[in-house]
A and B are shown apart, each in its own frame.
Chain A
Amino acid sequence: MFKNKILGAIALSSLGAAALAHNGATGVVMERMMGMSAMRDVMKDLAPMMQGQVPYDEWAVRDAATVLQSHAGDNMARLFPEEPIPASSFAKPEIWSDWARFEALSEELRLYAEGLDIAAVNGLDVPVPIAAPAPPSDEMAGMPGMDAATMPMETPPETFTVEELMGLVARADQNAATIAAPTADGKITGIDFEVTAADDVFERISQTCASCHSLYRKGN
């Protein structure tokens, strides 16, 4: 009896904690927060791996890619039905005035997650643990002979041109859809995931999360 009460109290308080963790959200808002949180958890595990700080594990990457896929695309978009935004939610109303773009970003995430599954076998561009390697351009990653073995740390210098810095042209290391282009159609052109390093794809994924959050999520 007593034991049951304790268990009950523990169950209640952990429920309370779960609800608090999501700001008291319920229903579909709770559901999308759980999906986002599941993605957060895999990103947390992947980030140190992608920086070479912990050993690379292809199968862990592929599992993570599956989790991301399952929460992206339509599976994400359908959890954002147009409705008054409850106080528990950090969603911005622009989601619905800009629906095509929002949907395109969630689809972009799905495509990149699919890409990560394919690219997982390629491992990292920069095998040595360093703080945060410069992102090599896709062309480099795709070029024969330009792999880590022949070019150990020779990632191109991470400098941008004046045109890129001033915002006159999109930066070469990101695809246009991700940098807040007015009409993102979610198509990923010109990336061959079979020859792209996993950390490159991972960075595109984080750019997609960031793009969507900057447009449609209030800071928490």
Chain B
Amino acid sequence: MGWSSKAGEKARVRVVIVGCPNVGKSVLFGRLTGRYVSVSNYPGTTVEVTRGIGRWAGRTFEVTDTPGLYSLSCITDEERAARALIMGGGSDVLLQVADAKNLDRMLPLTLQLSEAGLPVVLIVNMLDEARRAGLAVDLAGLGDRLGVPVIGAVLTRGEGVEEIKELLAAVGDTGTIQPLVPRYDRQVEAAIRAVEARITGNYGLRPRAMAVLALQEDPEVLDILRARELNWPLVSDLVVRMNQGSEPVRQRIPLVVHRLARRVVTRCLRQVGRPALTPGQVAGDLLLRPMFGLPVLVAVIYFGLYRFVGGFGAGTLVDVLDRTLFLSRLNPWLDRVVDGLFTGEAWRELLAHDYGLLTLGLRYAVAIVLPIVGTFFVAFAVLEDSGYLPRLALLTDRLLKPLGLSGRALIPLTLGLGCGTMATLVTRTLETRRERLLATFLLALGVPCSAQLGVVMGVLSARPHALAVWASAVVVALLAGGTLAAHLLPGRAAPFFMEVPPLRLPSLGNIWRKTTARMVWYFREVLPVFLAASVVIWLGRLTGVFPTVLSGLAGVCRWLGLPKETSLVFLFGFLRRDYGAAGLHDLAPGLPAQAVVVAAVTLTLFVPCLAQTVLMFKERGPVTALAIMGVVFPTAVAVGYVLSRVLSLVGGAAW
């Protein structure tokens, strides 16, 4: 590849895309690098920093997409990640993407970036929506006033992309213009100068910007200064002093920045026509009301989850792939090939036969998990891209309050219905530690992932009352567990506030690119664990550890009134939760309905899969993760036990 040559290396331009959530950053990233990573209508699903390479005008551009950043004074982990990237100094130019309709909310960041001495280009995106709202943006005037390059765009249609590319290709050639920066009142300016004078280190931002952040009591900036500046005590005194009284400087500074932004916007954004009322707006407003929103929710669950993921994905597709492809053709053939190649029994067992890497590991991944997770990701992408999820969040906020959660938590919890591992990662978007912990706990306890859900529905849907029992048992366990955890955990319920984006018609291209990106992530993250799990099973059988574990679990199974073969399902269930569920799929036809329900419930509540456990350790720390596991395991067994007792008492009539 040409770009790794020395000359190419020199010419490489580092471009960092920043901006609020939901303004089109991912779309721009895709346009510049030719690759879509994740486009979303929900603020905050760009979880990881994404890098890509673009080439045009004979130069190479390293483009980085960052998580949403509202302002330089950060609140969430994601914002901190974005700011750390900017402060790290790894950029030749910052592209700030902004929503034209809400410029007054976007410009404070532009002003802050200019204040920090960073080279920023403002992309005024969504001009199509602005036009429909009857707004006209004076782009040239905006550029003159802000003193930074300004480009108008409709990124989804590719408008403005050429201009952006041209500008980037000419980076470094632009003359120096003086960007607009905020000026504060005399007292605040004096305080800024006093702090600035005591900053000696280089932190990637201008000392003035560091001083402004310090005066706003930015915890991270204060930590940096505390650790690295000799004059810290003087700075600290001043910061404390300036933040006393009824008008602390931490409130005065943002107000000044905002007023300046508003002044610029009133000059450059004009209402020229009447806002057109689009069908999307009407529908979007209706969905805010429970009277319409709740029936739509029921329809979404029925068609999206039950019919599409459960019926089509877990039913039709799994049948085709598993039964007609793997079980009747591929597996027998693989068994023969492996037997022909290897003589040792151990090798044969590792690769093929009942628990082999190919015949079990690959088969579960491709034939059972792929269609189910794939259909779920399609359904989720549609909901996400249409702007439905925040509406769902505001409708359900009240219901989640008793669990110590806010409506915001509904997004990771819903995503948990797809993949608990990914959902655990997305709990980062929640604002308080307490809420992140509670959501992680619920995900670990019993939010069934799509692989599990699909298999359970596949197994139980022939017996609707069994499905109902399973669903109620899991919901009750989640509600009870969540309520109890919320009571026991100190702290207050997380406040709920959320931006509600307009309802948009999702585009097929976005859904396709988003789904494939997630699938790639899933397989990169999960297929190795699948295969590792197969190796663990092989080792376990080879060394005789398994029979011991299994006989232990068999005791638990007996207690739950289950045949001892289900112990295998539980063991696999830890290695991968869906793996276990898939094992249940194989076992179910030979079991009585009651046993299937008890097994399905216990398995759903059982410890999360290996991948999710690993992520839980990473995100929440070992102590918390172990505590969660310690609660989840006995809870699962206890609920299974109670359920089996109740079902036996209710008796055979129903079964």
Q: Do A and B bind each other?
A: no
